[in-house]
């Protein structure tokens, strides 16, 4: 709606009685807001303006601005929050996540299509058609768009997560944001300021000492402590980055903790520091309380893994087959028409029943089936029709499956099955050459298997200590790919096959892994 410029009709201050009416209307529209939050959104004394404008399509819109920041807009007597309001109250609306490259398209006026919606392991929020929703980016709770669901959650899943999911009304960086004098502030994670990063650094440090590190593991390399212990204690949706803290370097941070007599660090090898002692009786460690998201692990081990992240369950994938126009006569006797979707076992049962019902088993050799006119038209090429009068059972069944339209069913843990047309694309791994003859590993189609590309990128980045990025997948506006420096296929294979338990047949490109050098 605000992807193009609009014409402002008027801009006036809101006075006492009008403020009270607006506060009442907001309370009715968003009952989850407390009285204190209502007073923040519609204050008694601070600057509050009403801007009346016409959008580029002619829609009359009323915008309410608090200290010159648009906080609400009204369209056809319905109130909607802006992204600025949702940054302050991120739980006000049910939120759906998409990939960072999609934001530019949303701000340009595009609606959010379901292939661009990330399905988390904990499931999608339950909404009905017409529900007002927030749209966030993967790994960031801050909403970047406001939209209306075009269908219910159940209908989204039943549609195989295809089609338009949300009509987008407003997105970050659109022309509505331009009304704000401070609209150029960046969309942020919860912890990007130095103070918040320091808090996160301390939290992960004490969490790792209290719950992760064992005395038998000392001495422990400081780099290993950061990579394997502190990173795993970082809450979901946040990213630990020491460079954004006041300490800037891990060595400086650990030096401070040594001054507090919490740990002792020594250089056991030249240029390599290790933690050699931890005072678990220190008051700061004893008083540290594990965040609720992690403490829930002990009460629900089956739903979360040891580091507090959602436990990934490989989806159940079943190939299915659709009855095509050419094959319809063969399936007519069993009551199936064009478009019917069947499993391989159902197809096998129908074909066997058809053969026996029509007495097509060869009397002289029961391993063969006689080809009648329907089987001839459905299964044989034109040049074969005058030459082949019998088919082996295996040949008959394989030809039948080849002539049917491919479908597949994907069932994610705790969700209803999703049926999609076509074969399921494998996770595609390729090696590309970049400038200065450097190689990068590119991973596509992770979303199809319920994997969060951002989480995979973060995991690989921490393990191999190489830069990893998320980019828009060429030719697929609502999909992304992971790119990481170097040939990391061996590490990726271990992650996908051993930890995520995906079957090798759903991964393409593992043969491009570098050969491991043999120890002499």
Q: Are the C-beta atoms of residues 490 and 512 closer than 8 Å to each other?
A: no
Give the pairing type, strands 7-13 and 418-421.
unpaired
C-alpha angle 459/464/467, rounded to 5°?
A: 80
If one compares 304 and 441, the residue with the highest pLDDT of the two is 441
CATH number of 317-408: 1.10.245.10
Instruction: Provide mean pLDDT across the span 123-132.
Output: 91
User: What pLDDT is attached to residue 284?
Assistant: 81
Q: Are the C-beta atoms of residues 238 and 200 closer than 8 Å to each other?
A: yes
Please give the structure tokens belonging to residue 355: 């053969």
The single residue listed with the structure tokens 């609009």 is 6
C-alpha angle 101/107/110, rounded to 5°?
A: 85
Q: What is the CA radius of gyration of the chain?
A: 30
Q: Are the C-beta atoms of residues 98 and 137 closer than 8 Å to each other?
A: yes
Instruction: Provide mean pLDDT across the span 285-310.
Output: 48
What predicted TM-score, i.e. pTM, was given to this entire model? 0.51
Q: Show the beta-strand stretches assigned E in 371-519.
A: 390-392, 405-411, 418-421, 427-433, 439-444, 468-472, 480-485, 507-508
CATH number of 7-179: 3.10.400.20
Three-class HEC string of 202-259: HHHHHHHHHHCCCHHHCCEEHHHHHHHHHHHHCCCCCCCCHHHCCCCCHHHHHHHHHH
How far is residue 378 from each of residues 88, 366, 384, 473, measured CA to CA in Å?
62, 22, 12, 39
Question: Where exactly are the structural domains of the chain?
Answer: 7-179, 194-287, 317-408, 427-512
What band does 51 get if pLDDT is binned at 50, 70 and 90? Answer: confident
Count the Cβ atoms, other than its own, within 10 Å of residue 243: 9
Q: What is the pLDDT of residues 224-269, one digit of tens each?
A: 888 888 888 887 667 788 888 888 888 889 988 998 899 999 887 7
| Strongest mean pLDDT among 3-7, 240-244, 516-520 | 240-244
Q: What is the DSSP letter of 310?
A: B
Q: Are the C-beta atoms of residues 67 and 42 closer than 8 Å to each other?
A: no
27: pLDDT strictly greater than 60: yes
Instruction: Provide mean pLDDT across the span 473-484.
Output: 80
212: pLDDT strictly greater than 90: no
Indicate if the alpha-carbon torsion angle 364, 366, 368, 369 is positive or negative: positive
Q: Cα–Cα distance between 64 and 72 in angstroms, integer?
A: 5
The residues near 237 (Cβ < 8 Å, ≥ 6 apart) are 139, 140, 141, 189, 190
What three-state secondary structure class fits 453? helix
Buried b (16+ CB within 10 A) or exposed e, 391-411: bebeebbebbeeebbebbbbe
Q: What is the pLDDT of residues 376-401, one digit of tens each?
A: 999 999 898 888 999 999 999 999 99
> Which percentage of the chain shows pLDDT scores above 70?
88
Q: What does pLDDT average to over the chain? A: 83
User: What pLDDT is attached to residue 451?
Assistant: 84
Q: Are the C-beta atoms of residues 118 and 125 closer than 8 Å to each other?
A: no
Count the Cβ atoms, other than its own, within 10 Å of residue 270: 5
302: pLDDT strictly greater than 60: no
293: pLDDT strictly greater than 60: no
What band does 8 get if pLDDT is binned at 50, 70 and 90? Answer: confident
CATH number belonging to the domain at 427-512, selected among 3.30.160.250, 3.30.780.10, 2.30.30.100, 3.40.350.10: 3.30.780.10
Least confident window among 123-137, 365-379, 450-464, 494-508: 450-464
Q: Are the C-beta atoms of residues 142 and 91 closer than 8 Å to each other?
A: no
CATH number of 194-287: 1.10.10
User: What pLDDT is attached to residue 310?
Assistant: 47
456: pLDDT strictly greater than 50: yes
Instruction: Provide mean pLDDT across the span 312-333.
Output: 90
User: What pLDDT is attached to residue 441?
Assistant: 93
User: What pLDDT is attached to residue 308?
Assistant: 36
What band does 517 get if pLDDT is binned at 50, 70 and 90? Answer: low
Please give the structure tokens belonging to residue 44: 């008694």
């Amino acid at each position: 709606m605000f992807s193009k410029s609009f014409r402002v009709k008027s801009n006036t201050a809101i006075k006492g009685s009008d403020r009270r009416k607006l506060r009442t209307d907001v309370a009715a529209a968003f009952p989850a807001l407390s009285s204190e939050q209502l007073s923040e959104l519609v204050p008694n004394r601070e600057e509050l303006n009403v801007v009346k404008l016409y959008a580029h399509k002619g829609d009359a819109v009323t915008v309410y601005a608090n200290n010159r920041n648009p906080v609400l807009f009204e369209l056809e007597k319905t109130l909607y929050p802006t992204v600025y309001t949702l940054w302050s109250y991120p739980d006000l609306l049910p939120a759906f996540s998409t990939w960072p490259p999609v934001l530019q398209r949303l701000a340009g006026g595009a609606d959010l299509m379901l292939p661009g919606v990330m399905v988390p392991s904990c499931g999608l929020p339950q909404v009905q058609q017409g529900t007002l929703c927030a749209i966030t980016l993967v790994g960031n709770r801050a909403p970047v768009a406001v939209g209306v669901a075009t269908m219910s959650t159940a209908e989204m899943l039943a549609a195989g997560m295809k089609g338009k999911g949300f009509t987008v009304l407003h997105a970050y960086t659109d022309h509505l944001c331009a009304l704000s004098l401070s609209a150029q502030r960046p969309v942020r994670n919860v912890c990007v300021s130095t103070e918040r990063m320091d808090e996160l650094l301390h939290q992960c440090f004490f969490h790792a000492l209290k719950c992760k590190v064992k005395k038998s593991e000392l001495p422990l390399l400081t780099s290993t402590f950061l990579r394997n212990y502190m990173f795993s204690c970082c809450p979901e949706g946040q990213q630990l980055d020491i460079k954004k803290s006041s300490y800037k370097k891990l060595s400086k941070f650990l030096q401070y903790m040594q001054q507090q007599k919490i740990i002792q660090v020594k250089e056991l090898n030249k240029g390599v520091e290790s933690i050699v002692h931890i005072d678990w009786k220190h008051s700061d460690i004893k008083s540290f309380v594990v965040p609720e998201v992690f403490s829930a692990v002990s009460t629900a081990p089956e739903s979360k893994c040891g580091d507090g992240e959602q436990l990934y369950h490989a989806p159940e994938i079943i190939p299915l087959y659709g009855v095509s126009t050419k094959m319809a006569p063969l399936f007519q006797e069993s009551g199936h028409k064009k478009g019917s979707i069947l499993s391989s076992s159902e197809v096998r049962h129908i074909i066997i029943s058809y053969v026996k019902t029509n007495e097509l088993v060869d009397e002289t050799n029961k391993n063969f089936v006689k080809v009648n006119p329907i089987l001839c038209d459905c299964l044989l090429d034109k040049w074969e029709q005058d030459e082949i009068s019998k088919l082996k059972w295996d040949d008959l069944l394989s030809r039948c499956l080849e002539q049917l339209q491919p479908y597949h069913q994907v069932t994610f843990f705790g969700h209803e099955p999703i049926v999609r047309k076509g074969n399921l694309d494998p996770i595609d791994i390729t090696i590309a050459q970049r400038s200065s003859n450097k190689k990068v590993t590119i991973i596509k189609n992770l979303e199809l298997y319920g994997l969060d590309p951002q989480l995979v990128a973060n995991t690989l980045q921490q393990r191999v200590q190489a830069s990893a990025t998320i980019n828009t997948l060429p030719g697929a506006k609502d999909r992304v790919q992971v790119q990481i420096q170097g040939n990391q296929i061996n590490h990726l294979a271990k992650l996908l096959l051993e930890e995520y338990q995906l079957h090798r047949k759903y991964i393409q490109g593992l043969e491009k892994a570098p050969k491991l050098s043999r120890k002499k």
